[in-house]
């Protein structure tokens, strides 16, 4: 009988990476729905840790306590809702201060290492679409399809600005653009798992492609290289 870790590895993964507000999360969700795959929003995991740190007043550079917090918190996703210790916090984790804190704590290698197993656990039959910043370079290096989504900083700032306005936040576009560029710099320059295209990656520029065009392209790429495996060879659990 094939070992469980081999069964796990036989489940196909589509890894979608890219900078903030590039559209990768929306693309990942729609591709997953089309293929009936599971979806992993890795950014939500870091935001959940950031929210827990806020609640317990843990400093962003207190690495040991942050790692302990990950081990002691119950983080889960149920029907699209993010839960922290059994409470739906889907809206809370989307607040800008939480996002900024998540970006800061994600720079710490021990924090990222503590979340590796959590992210890997999302790999279940029939497949997974994982979006983030190191899905193809670190977490799922054997992904059958690796995508890097990009767009100009100005276009991404406009998208984030509209999202925040729709949620009732009072923000200025210049401030959104500045914070986005600052986050880009942190993501690109961090020592552990910096944001960069994975080897053999395929690029989508959402400044020139619509979300629907991007989704259709990812699906077309997947069907061209779809791995051949039997459902009988894929274990559950």
Residue 61 lies in a domain: yes
Exposure of 166 by Cβ count < 10 A (0-12 exposed, 13-18 middle, 19+ buried)?
Answer: exposed
Q: Retrieve residue 21's tokens.
A: 């507000």
DSSP-assigned letter for residue 231 = G
User: Contacts from 53-57 at CB under 8 Å and sequence distance 24+?
Assistant: 53/101, 53/105, 54/97, 54/98, 54/101
Residue 83's SS3 state is strand
**Dihedral sign, CA of 112, 128, 166, 151?**
positive
**Which residues are paired to 82 by β-bridges?**
77
Cβ atoms 122, 32 nearer than 8 A: no
Residue 237 lies in a domain: no
Residue 147 lies in a domain: yes
Domain that holds residue 191: 7-218
Residue 50 lies in a domain: yes
CATH number at residue 25: 3.40.50.300
What's the pTM?
0.83
Residue 154 lies in a domain: yes
Residue 219: C-alpha distances to residues 3, 116, 209 (Å): 30, 26, 14
Residue 236 lies in a domain: no
Residue 90 lies in a domain: yes
Q: Is the peptide bond before 98 cis (omega within 30 degrees of 0)?
A: no
Q: What are the pLDDT tens digits along the chain (237 aa)?
A: 333 455 567 899 999 999 989 999 999 999 999 999 999 999 899 999 999 999 999 999 999 999 999 988 888 776 668 889 889 998 899 888 898 899 899 889 999 999 998 899 899 999 999 999 999 999 999 999 999 999 999 999 999 899 888 878 788 999 999 989 998 898 888 888 888 999 999 999 999 999 999 999 999 999 998 865 433 333 222
Residue 234 lies in a domain: no
Number of folded domains that form the chain = 1
The Cα–Cα gap between 118 and 84 comes to 14
| Terminal C-alpha separation, the chain | 16
């Amino acid at each position: 009988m094939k070992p469980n870790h081999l069964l796990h590895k036989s489940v196909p993964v589509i890894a979608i990476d890219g900078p903030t507000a590039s559209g990768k999360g929306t693309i990942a969700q729609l591709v997953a729905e089309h293929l009936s795959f599971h979806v992993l929003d890795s950014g939500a995991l870091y935001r959940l840790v950031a929210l827990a740190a806020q609640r317990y007043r843990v400093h962003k550079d207190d690495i040991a306590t942050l790692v302990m917090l990950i081990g002691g918190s119950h983080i889960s996703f149920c029907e699209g809702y993010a839960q922290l210790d059994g409470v739906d916090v889907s809206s809370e984790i989307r607040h800008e201060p939480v996002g900024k804190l998540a970006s800061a704590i994600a720079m710490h290698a021990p924090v990222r290492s503590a979340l590796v197993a959590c992210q890997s656990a999302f790999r279940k039959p029939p497949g997974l679409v994982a979006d983030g910043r190191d899905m193809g370079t670190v977490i799922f290096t054997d992904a059958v399809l690796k995508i890097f989504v990009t767009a100009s900083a100005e276009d991404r700032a406009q998208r984030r600005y509209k999202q925040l306005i729709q949620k009732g936040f009072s923000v200025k576009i210049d401030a959104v653009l500045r914070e986005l560029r600052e986050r880009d710099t942190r993501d690109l320059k961090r020592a552990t798992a910096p944001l960069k295209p994975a080897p053999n990656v395929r690029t989508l520029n959402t400044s020139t492609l619509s979300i629907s065009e991007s989704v259709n392209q990812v699906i077309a790429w997947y069907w061209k290289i779809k791995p051949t495996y039997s459902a009988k060879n894929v274990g559950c659990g």
